[in-house]
Structure formats: C-alpha cells, structure tokens
Amino acid sequence: METSRPVIVKRVPENLNLRQARAFLEEVRPLLEHDRPQLVFDLSLVRRLDSAGVDMLLHCMKEASRRDGDLKLASLSPQAQVVLDLTRTSRLFETFATSAEAARSFSGYLPNMVRQFHPQSQDIASERKVA
Amino acid sequence: MDLGFGKSLPKGLVDFTPSASAMRGVRALLLVGGREDTERFAEFPIAMLDVLGRSVMFRMLDRIRAHGISEIAVLSDTAPLQPQPSIDSCAFNVAAPECFWSEALQQFRRLSRHSESVLVVRLGAWAEVNYAEMVREHRQSGSAIMRACSHNSEALDVFVISSSSQTEAAALLRGELRDDRIAVAEHKTHGYVNMLAEASDLRVLTLDAFARNTELRPCGRELRPGVWVGKGARIHRRARIVAPAFIGAGCKVRDASVVTRGSSLEQHSEVDCATMVDNSSVLPYTRIGAGLEVERSVVGFEQVHSLQRDATVKIEDPHMIALTNGRASAQLFTAASWFLNFVPNVFWKLFFEPRTEQMERAESSLLDKHTAIDDAPLAAAESQPKSYREMVVTRRYGNE
C-alpha cells in the first residue's frame, strides 16, 4: 500500500554564492537522504545567484532523483529566473508560481503509477508494430 | 524614384545639405543626462552607450555637424566611456549632477553671445529632427523658443532659443526643460524618434537600425549581407553568426557560439565557447562566459537586463558576466598570467595528480544503476539512452 509522504518546502537564502550554497547544501543534505524525497525550494527571497548556486540546485535535483524523489522550484524571484535562464537550467526544473502549487503537484505522483502505466505503454507499442 | 538632384533619396538617407545661410548664426548645446531617475543603464546615461559601434551621443554630434552647425558645446553629467576623435573639435564639459543645469545655463549664455539662436538638444531621446527646417520655422514664427515634438505630439527635448530671449532661456534651463508654464512654439517632426528611456529602448533602436527605419548605420564592414564586423574583431571559424548581426571592433566570438536575431556585440566584448546570444545587445567591454544563453537582453557593466522578465540583475560571478579591458597591454598581461597559471596545472594533472575523488564520483554516478531501473517491470527503461537523471549529469558537465 502506498502512503502519502511529506512534501518539504525550504526557503532559499537571499544570497546564493559559493559559501552560502555550501551552507545551504549541508542544511538540506539530511532531507535529500530520505527515501523518495519530495522537496520544494522557495526562491522568492533570492536576490543574488551565481554559478555555484545553480550547481547546488542541480546537485540537489540529482540527489533527489537518484532516490526516486523530485525537487521543484517555486516563487522564483526575477533575479533567480534571469540567472536560471542565462545558465539554461530553467528548463531542467519544474517551476511553480507558489510553494503551495508546487507541493500540490506532488500529490499526483506516486511511484506505483509508473508501474500501472507501464503495461499500457507496452500495449501502445505493440499496436504501433501491428499498424 | 528620382535619382537626379531632386529631393527624393533612398529610404534612410537624409539630405543634410542646408544652404550655408540657413544655419549661419546658429550654435548648438548638446546636453547628455540631467535626469538621475531615468534614461540610465548601470548608472550610465543610455545616450553614452554604443549602438552598432558608436555611442548615441557621438552620433548626435555628427548629426548636428552634418546640418552645418560647427560650433557645438557638449555638457554631460558623466564622463564618456572612451575618448573619441570627434570630441576634440568641440568643447566637452562634465558637470556634477547637482550643478548640471546651472552649468547648462552658463554654456547657453556663452554660446548666445555672438549668435542669433542656439539649438539646445538633450539626450535623452534619439530624435531625427530636421534642424534646418526647425531653425527656418523659428525665424519665420518670431517666437522666443521653439520646441520639437514627435509626429504623435510627444514633446522632445530639442529647442531653438533666440539669443535675445535670455530670461525665457534661463527659466527653461532652470526648470530642467520640464517647465510647462513657459510659452513655446511647436515644431512637428516626422523623423524617427526613440525616447531611450530604458534599456529596452536601446534594443529597439538597434533593431530599427538593422531594419533601416532610422538613419543609424552600423560602423563596420558588411562581410555578408546583414553581418557587419568592426576592425580587429575575431570570429572563430566554428562560431555561427546569423544576419542581421553586428560584431564590433576588437570583439572575440569563440568556438561554437551563436550570435543571432539582430544581436549586437559592441566594441571589445567577448562571447565565450558555446554561448548563444539571441536578440540581445552586449555593451562594450563585456565578457559573456561559456555555455550560457543570453536571450532578449541587454548585457553590460556586470548587469543583465532581461526584456522577457523585465528585470535587471547584477551578476557578480566572473564566470558568467565580467568586464574586459580594451587596452592591448592589459589584455596581454591577463593572457600571460592565465597561461602561466594554466600550463603548470596541465602538467601536474597529466603526470603527477592521482585520480581525484570528484572524477571517480562523476564516473560512478554515470555508471551505477538507478533504483527504479532495477525493478523488473521497468527493466526496459535501462535501454533508453538518457534517463532524467543522466540528462542532468550531462548538462552539468556539458556546462563545465
């Protein structure tokens, strides 16, 4: 039986340079080490974001997806949005206008759903072959 | 089209050959700045920034000269970014913002001593006013002050002031050219007008220049139709330049980068490897780092103004946006210090350094199996070339 897991919303600090990114990563590391972590980073406060900060976000997403979880971004400040666009990373993250929306988006995702959909996708493939 | 000595000329070319008598006794005062709240990008007046190889201020100076006015005084609240030859032949003054308008009045009084009228232009807006026509209308109307306005009745900071009307001129300049109580006659212009109030207007002016909607022309050699390249620009053979585009003097466009959709790289700017510059203006002495995507933006002085997001962001990371030095000696010094740092590092990594932990971790993260892939029903997913997880890893190292 699949039970709902908590969605953790974390507010990202105003400055996300190398030093701050390391500190933030240490803070969220225990959350990333959970089984199937469901994380939302709220970037509404972010005013300065550099390549180290972007790298940290990618690292967190990689770690989350390794454990079958996901990381979503919410309430992006214009500054954060511009830097993510500039580094071509905005397309890698799922972004939401508010943290609540991002948290709600997790409820539609259950790992068992992938297994349920899998036979269907096989059927579609066999139909295509017949066609 | 009449190709004789008639009035009709190809679009974009304006006949600036007024009769000598028309502009006799007219002097010009060119004001740059004077508004601290608007018309600036990174603390610089937009009029001082380059558009297709030459700043708006110098282009306006050339334009006034082309109308037959030789005696021009320039007053700015900011020092120009770099000296240019045309500045030598006119009086150039820099005044502190708090005494800008009083200094402007002093300059006006000096110019009006031996002249019939003074043309006062504030940048501000790029307005293609026919000054000869305006001066002629001013003489005929007999008014003390005549102000130009655009075809949609937008007031422009272009005035012709009679030298005898000192009181009105003083009131106008003390009111920072914004006092509505002073009676002025209006001259409607049908030329191109761009208010240059914000960075997005600079982008519009560049695109209009490419489309030949304005008199502005790129300063450089047209290598291919729609691609202009300035003196000393270096473009890597694998870089892609899509017309219309402008690569300014001393620019560097490195391997696998793309400059497209009306982008302009102003003098001594650099675009590093695999970076895409799309529909953007890169201001002088700006270096854009590797693997980035600059789209619908104005970039310069360690700032990015995104037209898409309508936001200006200061970038302090030199890997992304940095300032370059236009001087050859400084460039040589930077290159030499980089080389002296790079070569020992390469030798150390090749012959002495053991495999680092980071490399091993990177390899293991690419090779180890995902927990979801291990499940029997999803075994087919393993054969897919790029899972979500791998895509992130590839992008990350691709950027590096």
Question: Is B361 an 8 Å CB contact of chain A?
Answer: no
Mutate to test the interface with A, among B286, B313, B384, B391 (most CBs of A within 10 A): B313
Cα angle value B327/B331/B337 (rounded, 5°): 150
Q: Is the pLDDT of residue A127 over 70?
A: no
Question: Is B152 an 8 Å CB contact of chain A?
Answer: no
pLDDT at B356: 63
Question: Is B386 an 8 Å CB contact of chain A?
Answer: no
* Backbone torsion region of residue B48, taken as left when φ is above 0, otherwise alpha when ψ lies between -120 and 50, otherwise beta: alpha
pLDDT at B180: 77
Is A115 within 8 Å of B377 when comparing Cβ atoms? yes
Name the residue among B143, B144, B148, B153 with its Cα closest to residue B132.
B148
Kindly identify which residue of chain A lies nearest to residue B381, measuring between CA atoms.
A118
Which of chain A's residues have a Cβ under 8 Å away from the Cβ of B372?
68, 111, 114
User: Could you give the 3-state DSSP secondary structure of residue B41?
Assistant: strand
In DSSP terms, A73 is beta-bridged to A41, A95
The whole-number mean pLDDT for each consecutive block of 10 residues of chain B, a chain of 400 residues, reads 38 50 85 84 90 93 90 88 61 88 93 92 93 92 93 92 93 88 90 93 96 94 94 95 95 96 95 96 95 95 93 91 74 70 76 67 62 48 45 41
What's the mean pLDDT in A44-56? 94
User: Could you give the 3-state DSSP secondary structure of residue B330?
Assistant: helix
Instruction: Tokens 């959709």: give the residue.
Output: B261
A86 vs B294: CA distance, rounded Å: 6
pLDDT in tens, A4-49: 678 999 999 999 999 999 999 999 999 999 889 999 999 999 999 9
pLDDT at B340: 75
A59 vs B398: CA distance, rounded Å: 14
- Distant-in-sequence, close-in-space partners of B40: CB < 8 Å, separation ≥ 6: B46
Q: Is the pLDDT of residue A1 over 60?
A: no
Kindly identify which residue of chain B lies nearest to residue A49, measuring between CA atoms.
B315
B82 vs B64: CA distance, rounded Å: 21
Residues 289 to 308 of B: which have CB under 8 A from any A CB? 291-295, 304, 306, 308
Kindly identify which residue of chain A lies nearest to residue B316, measuring between CA atoms.
A50
pLDDT at B341: 76
pLDDT in tens, B232-246: 999 999 999 999 999
Name the residue among B213, B211, B161 with its Cα closest to residue B31.
B161
- Look up residue B379 and give its DSSP letter: G
pTM, entire model: 0.78
A99 vs A105: CA distance, rounded Å: 10
Q: Please tell me the distance in Å from A93's CA to the nearest CA on chain B.
A: 10
Q: Please tell me which residue, A86 or B346, carries the higher pLDDT value.
A: A86
Tell me the one-letter amino acid at A3. Answer: T
Q: Which ipTM was obtained for this model?
A: 0.78
Name the residue among B21, B24, B44 with its Cα closest to residue B33.
B44
Cα angle value B5/B10/B13 (rounded, 5°): 90
Kindly identify which residue of chain A lies nearest to residue B365, measuring between CA atoms.
A66
